[in-house]
Amino acid sequence: MKIFTIGGRCLAAPPPAGWREQLAQMLGSKPRRIGTWAELGLFGALRCMADAGETTLPPDAQIWLGSRRGTYAATAHVLEQVRDDLPMPLAFLQTQPSQLLAMLAAQLAWQGHACFMAGASPQALLRLAGAQGGHGGVLLGWVDEMDGGESNWLRLLPCDTAVHADISAVPATAMFSSQATHLCLTHGAKDAG
């Protein structure tokens, strides 16, 4: 069993009205050359980091990002362009989920391990991140453009269960609960934690 303290969170499903203006304020200017999916991701990640009281991540922290369908809207747009000619370079770049990871790392002045995973569940993403996360913890996000969009992020820090034996941790299935303060990963369990 592994327990994480939730140090910060952003639960934006759907994002609040005016979220693009809030993102521009956080960045200091309106983002350029990125699509809606990457904007949603930056918005949620930066709000989560602010909630955690952090402006950067420790070098041994990891960023894990997941999505049901990733950059499907940008990909559909590029496929339409391909029917007539070669896609426009900026449109093609917007199909790359790693663009968000690179922009986030630059914004946080951070270098380290970052990973994108499409099609899995948030719980599967959490299990992988939990298995590989080190002392610096994990910035974990789930971003989608579907159904009005969502940008859910958690800043997870390892918790010493020997020191905090009285912790009431919720299972991974409740990871985006606004009431949770700790998450419990049970080794070998698929959906329970």
pLDDT per position as a tens digit, 84-102: 887 776 676 766 778 899 9
Decide if pLDDT at 75 tops 70.
Answer: no
What confidence score (pLDDT) does residue 50 get? 97
The predicted-structure confidence for 109-150, as pLDDT tens digits, reads as follows: 999 999 999 887 899 999 899 888 889 999 999 999 888 889
Domain spans of the chain?
2-185
3-state secondary structure of 107: helix
Q: Among 1-10, 18-27, 58-67, 71-80, whose mean pLDDT is lowest?
A: 71-80
Q: Which residues pair with 117 in a beta bridge?
A: 66
Nearest CA to 110 among 189, 56, 40, 172?
Answer: 56
Contact by Cβ (8 Å): 68, 124: no
| Distance between CA atoms of residues 177 and 62, nearest Å | 22
The predicted model gives 27-54 an average pLDDT of 93
- pTM of the shown model: 0.86
Structure tokens at 2: 């592994």
The CATH code of domain 2-185 reads 3.40.47.10
Q: Are 142 and 125 in contact (CB under 8 A)?
A: yes
